Chains A and B, each alone.
Chain A
């Protein structure tokens, strides 16, 4: 009996060693390419550095400057608008599209490819395309509106500081709907056919299927989609960069673009790093919040069922 236990312990020990050794490369890569750079960024956010010359430690000055700078709060508001609009519109729309495709018997592949297509095109190209389409002087969108007598709707989509953030957000929202749709669709396709069939035999219509069968089954996928959507909004900057350069002024600048502008346009790498830290913190907080909401919802559903 003793011998057996000792053998078990040895085996357990060698297994631990075995797993640890296999983990080393990935842990090393994780440390070198994520933890160390993150640490450096945090340190850089406490310094003043133009990118050339000496780096001066200034404590939390970069953060206190940003929090007292009025433009920074406009940028925070813009980022919040982007996140909220994407979460409130993009995911529900992607879910509806995915469900329609899921229930589609003909043309499934065609529509899936069509909806997914914009998300594989470079955001730069999409940004340029919409710059032309939405040009209020010579663009086709306003020309069409004017030709229909809707002159009051022919707005300056990208130069009006009150609406430019919404225009930029709608473009990014449009581009990535297909991406989330494919993710969610994959989740729907993994639902067991037996469950669907029994629900239909019980007389469930499409709406009831969606609400009572499909949505609860794809909750983990929706959670992933939410996280991708939120973090994508926090780090994405191409559309605003191409279409408006974040302007006019900072009217359509989000945190990621502001980080870029501070670091590479204003040569304020310390302040840029401070924004980067805020993006990381926001992403972590929002991801945990999403986890919490979905987990809470999951537990509620489990209890009710």
Chain B
């Protein structure tokens, strides 16, 4: 018995010592990492066989997933490139579509395990806390080091400045249009709407016939917050109000409430689906239009590739509906829908980690933002990148081509409404704004109550000083 006990004791000690020492060394390295990222990284590298001058690993987190053939082809190009540079660095790619990437990124950041490069939303409402924490490299530093890319290569309007510093390389230049199902309009002998009031009148005809006038819902605020801002932005002075939120600390204004009341009237007139949650978010909203159950759709280019061939065939792009009344902007005819809210961010710690890692980051971004890859991105996603380039429509998504043609035929359209997602200065407020929108569109709160709730969130979570 004694012998057996001793043998077990020896076995346990042998097992436990490496476990305890392992924990100890890991704790040491994480502490060192916090104190000084560069040396910690070197020790990590040596642990994984990555020493100076040798192969480093580049972790890339983006929204590229092989959900379509075009996207699979786009990702193949990245894989092909990865094989070519494998002697210098290994590309570890993680693609996560939609808002789920926010959860992943926040988890990585909280665990002090942020990727080297990440495609993320470029505004204080989404990445403000990470910018504040100094997680990202200012783009100026990258452009100074890159021989192939410069700041001027990208659309100036799509840079976002946080405390005067730009952290993200603009990724996309989204455009939006209003689509109508011409078959439904012909069947009910309806004219295409020119104003938001017209949409309400159209609903009076379509709703009794079981047809949804505008495929629009709100789940997590999507996609309603885009058309809401489009409507709000058509009031005189709205843009100034939105741009001033960070300095005034005011989001609940008379104009904003008026825009919300407009949406309220549209909802009450039956313009939207009755189930605004289930039919909310991008996919379900588009599904209503794709299935021919909705007469109108507010389309942004990232969804252009998801329209079915049938939907493309029955669709017609119409002029943007306008707001009427004394407070409406006079230049609404020149207003379209343009935005760029995604960017590629460089992890500052990775940049400072080693020469090899820095070289890998520059090389990968030079490749990713090369003319050829930008063209491939456009063909795969239907959205043009924010890089200034003459894009070929030859292999582009059909609806993207038509959207381009529409804007080419309307050279006067150069303006776009401001977006709250770009001007709300705090991510908690933005999350509340979106969540409360679901409540608002479902009728649980009035326009006034919604605005009060968002203002309350802004007051609680954002200190304009």
* A29–B284 alpha-carbon span in the complex (Å): 44
Contact between chains at B132 and A53 (CB < 8 Å): yes
| Nearest CB of chain A from residue B264's CB, rounded to whole Å | 14
Chain B interface bracket (under 10, 10 to 19, 20 to 34, 35 or more): 35 or more
* A264–B107 alpha-carbon span in the complex (Å): 8
Contact between chains at A14 and B1 (CB < 8 Å): yes
* A266–B458 alpha-carbon span in the complex (Å): 12
Contact between chains at B431 and A158 (CB < 8 Å): no
Listed residue (A49, A52, A264) with the most chain B CB atoms within 10 angstroms of its CB: A52
* A131–B291 alpha-carbon span in the complex (Å): 17
Q: Mark A78-105, 1 if CB is under 8 A from B, else 0.
A: 0000000000000000000000000000
A247 in the interface (beta carbon within 8 A) = yes
Contact between chains at A247 and B277 (CB < 8 Å): yes
Chain A interface bracket (under 10, 10 to 19, 20 to 34, 35 or more): 35 or more
| Nearest CB of chain A from residue B12's CB, rounded to whole Å | 5
Interface residues of A in 222-237 (CB under 8 A from B): none
| Nearest CB of chain B from residue A134's CB, rounded to whole Å | 7
Interface residues of A in 209-252 (CB under 8 A from B): 243-251
Q: Which of A25, A51, A246, A263 has a CB less than 8 Å from the CB of B129?
A: A51
Listed residue (B12, B276, B442) with the most chain A CB atoms within 10 angstroms of its CB: B442
Q: Which of B129, B276, B279, B280 has a CB less than 8 Å from the CB of A267?
A: B129
Listed residue (A14, A161, A269) with the most chain B CB atoms within 10 angstroms of its CB: A161
Q: Which of B5, B19, B103, B273 has a CB less than 8 Å from the CB of A137?
A: B273
Residues of B contacting A159 in the complex (Cβ-Cβ under 8 angstroms): 274-278, 442
| Nearest CB of chain A from residue B199's CB, rounded to whole Å | 18
* A193–B443 alpha-carbon span in the complex (Å): 59
Q: Mark B32-44, 1 if CB is under 8 A from A, else 0.
A: 0000000000000
A261 in the interface (beta carbon within 8 A) = yes
B182 in the interface (beta carbon within 8 A) = no
Q: Is the interface of A mostly helix, strand, loop or mixed?
A: loop
Contact between chains at A21 and B8 (CB < 8 Å): yes
Contact between chains at B129 and A137 (CB < 8 Å): no
Residues of B contacting A51 in the complex (Cβ-Cβ under 8 angstroms): 106, 109-110, 129
Q: Mark A20-52, 1 if CB is under 8 A from B, else 0.
A: 011011001000000000000000000001111
Residues of B contacting A11 in the complex (Cβ-Cβ under 8 angstroms): 1
CB-CB under 8 A for A17 and B436, given A137-B274, A251-B444: no
Residues of A contacting B279 in the complex (Cβ-Cβ under 8 angstroms): 135, 137-138
Interface residues of B in 74-109 (CB under 8 A from A): 102-103, 106-107, 109
Contact between chains at A21 and B438 (CB < 8 Å): no
* A23–B277 alpha-carbon span in the complex (Å): 51
| Nearest CB of chain B from residue A253's CB, rounded to whole Å | 9
Q: Which of B2, B278, B435, B441 has a CB less than 8 Å from the CB of A261?
A: B435
Contact between chains at A265 and B431 (CB < 8 Å): yes
Contact between chains at B431 and A269 (CB < 8 Å): no
Interface residues of A in 145-182 (CB under 8 A from B): 156-161, 164
* A17–B1 alpha-carbon span in the complex (Å): 12
Contact between chains at A248 and B288 (CB < 8 Å): no
Contact between chains at A53 and B274 (CB < 8 Å): no
Q: Which of A134, A138, A251, A261 has a CB less than 8 Å from the CB of B431?
A: A261
**Please, which residue of chain A has its CB at the minimum distance from the CB of B279?**
A137
Residues of B contacting A287 in the complex (Cβ-Cβ under 8 angstroms): none
| Nearest CB of chain B from residue A48's CB, rounded to whole Å | 11
A207 in the interface (beta carbon within 8 A) = no
Interface residues of B in 368-391 (CB under 8 A from A): none
B212 in the interface (beta carbon within 8 A) = yes
* A250–B110 alpha-carbon span in the complex (Å): 25
Residues of B contacting A265 in the complex (Cβ-Cβ under 8 angstroms): 102, 220, 431, 435
Contact between chains at A134 and B278 (CB < 8 Å): yes
Contact between chains at A250 and B435 (CB < 8 Å): yes
Q: Which of B8, B109, B212 has a CB less than 8 Å from the CB of A52?
A: B109
Listed residue (B134, B219, B275, B279) with the most chain A CB atoms within 10 angstroms of its CB: B275
Contact between chains at A243 and B278 (CB < 8 Å): yes
Taking A24-B12, A53-B133 as given, write out 17 further A-B residue pairs in contact, using a Cβ cutoff of 8 Å, ordered by the A residue number. Answer: A18-B5, A22-B8, A28-B19, A51-B110, A135-B275, A137-B293, A159-B275, A159-B276, A164-B277, A244-B277, A247-B439, A248-B439, A249-B436, A250-B439, A261-B431, A267-B106, A267-B129
Which residues of A are in contact with B by a Cβ distance under 8 Å?
A: 11, 14, 17-18, 21-22, 24-25, 28, 49-54, 131, 134-139, 156-161, 164, 243-251, 261, 263-269
Which residues of B are in contact with A by a Cβ distance under 8 Å?
A: 1-2, 5, 8-9, 12, 15-16, 19, 102-103, 106-107, 109-110, 129-130, 132-135, 212, 219-220, 273-280, 284, 288, 291, 293, 427-428, 431-432, 435-436, 438-439, 441-445
